[in-house]
Amino acid sequence: MTARRVLLVTALIAAAAPASAHVLPEPGAGFAEGLAHPFSGLDHLLAMLIVGAWAAQLGGRAMLWVPVAFLGSMCLGGMVGYAWPGPAHEIAVAASVALLGAFVAFAFRPGVALAAALVGLLAVAHGHAHAVELPAAASPLGFSVGFVIATAMLHGIGLGIGRFARSHAAWLWLRGACAGASLLGVALVFARW
C-alpha cells in the first residue's frame, strides 16, 4: 500500500460521519444494526482503530491482549449499563479518543498488562454508553453481538495499519494522524461538556 493510498483511506475514515457514534437505534434493531453501528460515528471509529494501531506499536503479546482487553471490558461495561443504567458517558467516550491518540502519538510503551488495563478502563465507558442507549431495541443481544464483531474488525484494521506503518517506516505518519485524532477527542470532550 502506497503512502497515497494510506492518506486516501485516512481521509475516507475522517469523512465517515458526524462525531457521535452513539445514536439511538431504531426499535427492532438487531445484529445488522449492531454490526453497522461502530462505523456510524467518528469517535467510536477512531477509538477502535487506534486501539489496534497502539497494539501494533507495542508489538509482541500486546497485539493480542490489548484488543482482547478492550473487547472484554466493553462487554462488561455493557452488562453494567443494562443492569444499572445511568447517564451515557459520552465525555468519557470522547476522552478515550484523546487518550488513545496521545498514547500512539507520544509512543507511550507501558508493559502489556498496563496497556491492557488502560484500554480496558476506557472500554467500560464505550460499553456502558451503548447499553444505556439500547433498551428500546427489540434484540439487545443481537445488536451487542454485531457491535462486538464490528469492534473486533476495526481493531484488526487498526492493527493492520499499525503493522504497515511499522514495516514501511511510516511511524511518523501514524503518530501524526493519532495526534490529530487526540486533538479531535479533546474538542469532542469540550463540545459535550
* Dihedral sign, Cα of residue 119, residue 120, residue 122, residue 128: positive
Predicted pLDDT of residue 137 = 54
Question: Residue 23 falls within a domain, yes or no?
Answer: no
Question: Residue 6 falls within a domain, yes or no?
Answer: no
Question: Residue 4 falls within a domain, yes or no?
Answer: no
Question: Residue 107 falls within a domain, yes or no?
Answer: yes
Q: Are the C-beta atoms of residues 48 and 55 closer than 8 Å to each other? A: no
Number of domains into which the chain is organized: 1
Domain, as residue range, for 119: 34-192
CA distance 29 to 35: 10
Predicted pLDDT of residue 24 = 46
Residue 120 CB-density burial (10 A; 0-12 exposed, 13-18 middle, 19+ buried): buried
169: three-class secondary structure by DSSP: coil
* Cα separation values, 45 from 110, 119, 139, 153, 179, Å: 24, 15, 23, 11, 15
Predicted pLDDT of residue 140 = 81
Question: Residue 73 falls within a domain, yes or no?
Answer: yes
Strands of the chain (E only): list them: none
Question: Residue 50 falls within a domain, yes or no?
Answer: yes
Residues of the chain with pLDDT under 50: 3, 6-25
For 21, residues 6+ apart whose C-beta sits below 8 A from its C-beta are: 37, 38, 40, 41, 42, 43, 44, 45, 93
Question: Residue 111 falls within a domain, yes or no?
Answer: yes
Predicted pLDDT of residue 2 = 55
Task: Tell which residue, 54, 61, 40, 58, has the closest CA to residue 143.
Answer: 40
Task: Tell which residue, 33, 23, 22, 154, has the closest CA to residue 93.
Answer: 22
Question: Residue 143 falls within a domain, yes or no?
Answer: yes
